């Protein structure tokens, strides 16, 4: 009987320890940029603004200091350009692929309510997506 209890307690302790390694951490993008290796493989929560680039089309999260993190799949962000979001997902940092969060959850945060924000929201959204135009005479 004691042998079975020891086994059961060992299994329960192992399960508890392994579940602690998947604890969700709320981390600012600035810290992810500075300490990418530390957070590699962890499930994180990040709040930032959605940005995009047209050619090739891709989206990312960016803070006010222009620190950036990619999001996979990034097409889920296409209707949120210029808006604040809160994402939860597994963070990875590889030299060839950069910093990315594999999305588990995506929440659009409410915008600050003021008349300027309401009247300029479409213009801001359009300007948030960067597109390089070719020089005159160059295709």
CATH value at residue 95: 2.40.50.140
Q: Report if residue 1 sits inside a domain.
A: no
Q: Report if residue 35 sits inside a domain.
A: yes
Q: Which residue range forms the structural domain that includes residue 38?
A: 22-130
pLDDT at site 136: 42
- Residue 127 burial by Cβ neighbours in a 10 Å radius (0-12, 13-18, 19+): exposed
Residues 6+ apart with CB under 8 A from 40: 91, 92, 93
Confidence of residue 24 (pLDDT cuts 50, 70, 90): confident
pLDDT at site 50: 95
Confidence of residue 61 (pLDDT cuts 50, 70, 90): very high
- Residue 69 burial by Cβ neighbours in a 10 Å radius (0-12, 13-18, 19+): buried
**pLDDT of 63 higher than 90:** yes
Q: Report if residue 87 sits inside a domain.
A: yes
Q: Which residue has the tokens 């210029």?
A: 82
pLDDT at site 88: 96
What is the chain's mean pLDDT, rounded? 76
**pLDDT of 119 higher than 50:** no
pTM: 0.67
- Residue-wise pLDDT tens digits, 42-60: 999 999 999 999 888 889 9
Q: Comparing 22 with 27, which gets the higher pLDDT?
A: 27
Number of domains the chain contains: 1
Q: Report if residue 74 sits inside a domain.
A: yes
- Give the tokens for residue 52: 């995009």
Q: Which residue has the tokens 């808006």?
A: 83
> Once rounded to an integer, what is the mean pLDDT over residues 111-123?
47
Q: Report if residue 137 sits inside a domain.
A: no
């Amino acid at each position: 009987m004691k042998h079975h209890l020891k086994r059961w307690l060992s299994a329960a302790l192992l399960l508890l320890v392994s579940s602690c390694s998947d604890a969700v951490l709320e981390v600012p993008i600035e810290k992810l940029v500075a300490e990418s290796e530390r957070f590699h493989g962890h499930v994180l929560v990040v709040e930032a603004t959605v940005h995009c680039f047209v050619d090739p089309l891709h989206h990312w999260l960016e803070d006010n200091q222009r620190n950036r993190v990619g999001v996979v799949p990034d097409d889920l962000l296409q209707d949120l350009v210029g808006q604040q979001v809160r994402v939860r997902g597994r963070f990875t940092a590889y030299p060839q692929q950069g910093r990315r969060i594999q999305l588990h959850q995506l929440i659009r945060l409410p915008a600050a309510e003021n008349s300027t924000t309401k009247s300029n929201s479409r213009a801001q959204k359009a300007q948030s997506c960067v597109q390089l135009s070719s020089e005159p005479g160059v295709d």
